[in-house]
Chain A
């Protein structure tokens, strides 16, 4: 039975990122699941119990969209993932998938990914990277859809004064003592608790600490090689921008990490605009520092990458909501 699982796994996209030993390990944790035509594989709104990969057959993906009812999204075939977003955020499934014919799936439970992250962080990183590449390509496509909608609808563009303020407002470097925190305070926070003491100290050694007034832009759409930021206090607004018209994506508050999509899709410049919506204190890691961390401190990089992945799943879901809203509301008209 294990040989069958190994063979099937090797023929999936996982086979490209895991070595033979890692495939054998995965085979011990996965299950093979058979579905008859019409049988649900995952159901929208239900708690996640992991992801699936189609090995034989095909499945129909649908979603309930506000204002549009049940909508067909895609026909999934051999090698396609099902429910992979939930591996990153562990929220309920966002779509329903039903077998279109007799279908065989590999089921990778959440526990497998937990085990992998804890015991084989490098392998876990490769798998998450693969999932996120898939999600970010979909996000790029979605971004394109939203830009098309924004071109057609009547959104009031930003004023000249608004533009000027954003250009004029710049962050400034401050001392750690000006943040109001102690290192002990920060170490105890959930966000930093995943880092070892050494990694935590390294983060603060490598970071610039900056204070940003309200309406200060950190990353503009089209930027390449932009930095990575961790918000300590205050908040940052992400937006999609088309011809000086802004459509809000989401707000990131304290203990959030953000960066451009370049960290997930290397040749893709930033797709969103990131600006403070409150005055804020942040840790800033330049692009060069992030490359250094990636090369020299891989375990630290994997942990930062897990936060990058979570942030981009938030963006992905926010973009879905934005598309629905732009079709239902008179927005900033």
Chain B
């Protein structure tokens, strides 16, 4: 299981998310509040869009398989970069040598010249059994970009392929439709292989101008009776907070409550011990946030597939 953080809003120096709060993102790698049984030690990655940077449509990308709390380079970069959009991921895998820890498996995934990046919290049961059936739904130009061994990268490739087919005028609705179609494809392949056990799919998708996130599990509440306790049997959490600006106000880290709702954080868990100004996204939901006339809009939709 993993931890994910996404942000859209006014520029904020990244260390305000990664290091400073009392449940900072980096702290969640070794002391997550909303996850039991697993630490997130299999890699850290982030993509960040900064409108003031050279070629602002191209994000900063940083990935490492080093432990992030010992990473001096990350600490330094975090104290300098002030993006308006960020997607960061801490990878957590079971302590088992069947799991590959490598740069190719670090999220977020962002192929070549694709606009969109994706990070995933969860795991598809029996993925190895199903994966080549997914090829039917992945365009060849995305299939050849898959480099790692994760289910997440394949989900990304399916999403991009569905997005290429979407035909609404609005990018927001195209993204929503592509996400739903991706989940429907996964469901169909699971049915073909009679895969019936709980598989969380919390996706975070962004292009620097919008963030979409799902809180979803296939077959929640079903697990093998002889299975040992696993983090994937719980319904993975998803929270958000919004306001004018995230920072240190009145002796605590929180969103400043100003006139304008101009920034939003969507994350696996709150960045602070005090969660009173965070809202938990309901189960089986898709949330998408974007700016319209400098104000954050939040669309949420129940997922019925």
Contact = CB atoms under 8 A, between A and B. Distances in A.
Contacts of A235: 220-221, 283
Contacts of B222: 233-234, 278
Nearest to A47: B273
B150 interface: no
A69 B257 contact: yes
Nearest to B278: A66
Interface string A310-333: 000000001001001100111111
Given A67-B257, A248-B284, A251-B235, A328 B221 contact: no
Nearest to B284: A277
A278 B302 contact: no
Nearest to A333: B299
A163 to B, nearest CB: 13
Contacts of B282: 248-251, 318, 325
Interface string A56-73: 000000011111110000
Given A248-B282, A325-B279, A233 B257 contact: no
Contact of B298 (A162, A185, A330): A330
Nearest to B285: A248
Contacts of A134: none
B222 to A, nearest CB: 6
B275 interface: yes
Nearest to A254: B221
B276 interface: yes
A248 B302 contact: yes
A234 B220 contact: yes
A153 B220 CA distance: 30
Contacts of B149: none
Contacts of A330: 297-300
A94 B276 contact: yes
B241 interface: yes
Interface in B216-245: 219-222, 225, 235, 241-243
B301 interface: yes
A12 interface: no
A186 to B, nearest CB: 11
A45 B275 contact: yes
Contacts of B294: none
Interface string B176-210: 00000000000000000000000000000000000
A302 B276 CA distance: 32
B277 interface: yes
Interface residues of A, number: 40
B20 interface: no
A290 B276 CA distance: 37
Contacts of B300: 325, 329-332
A278 B278 contact: no
A332 B242 contact: no
Contacts of A109: none
A181 interface: yes
A278 to B, nearest CB: 5
A269 interface: no
Contacts of B71: none
Given A180-B225, A253-B221, A278-B221, A66 B302 contact: no
A329 B290 CA distance: 12
A63 B302 contact: no
B261 interface: yes
A77 interface: no
B276 A44 contact: yes
A45 to B, nearest CB: 4
A80 interface: no
A231 interface: yes
B133 interface: no
B126 to A, nearest CB: 17
Contacts of A248: 282-285, 302
Find the residue from B242, B301, B302 having the highest chain A CB count within 10 A.
Answer: B302
Interface in A61-96: 63-69, 92, 94
A2 to B, nearest CB: 37
A250 B299 CA distance: 18
A326 to B, nearest CB: 10
Contact of B219 (A45, A64, A278): A278
Contacts of A261: none
Interface in A239-263: 246, 248-251, 253-254
A133 interface: no
Nearest to A70: B257
A332 B302 contact: yes
A280 interface: yes
Closest 6 CB pairs of A and B: A45-B274, A251-B283, A234-B221, A69-B257, A235-B221, A329-B298
Interface of B: 219-222, 225, 235, 241-243, 257, 261, 273-280, 282-285, 287, 297-302, 304
16 contacts: A45-B274, A64-B276, A66-B277, A68-B257, A162-B304, A185-B225, A233-B221, A234-B220, A235-B221, A248-B285, A251-B283, A278-B219, A318-B282, A328-B279, A330-B297, A332-B300
Interface of A: 44-45, 63-69, 92, 94, 162, 180-181, 185, 231, 233-235, 237, 246, 248-251, 253-254, 277-278, 280, 318, 321, 324-325, 328-333
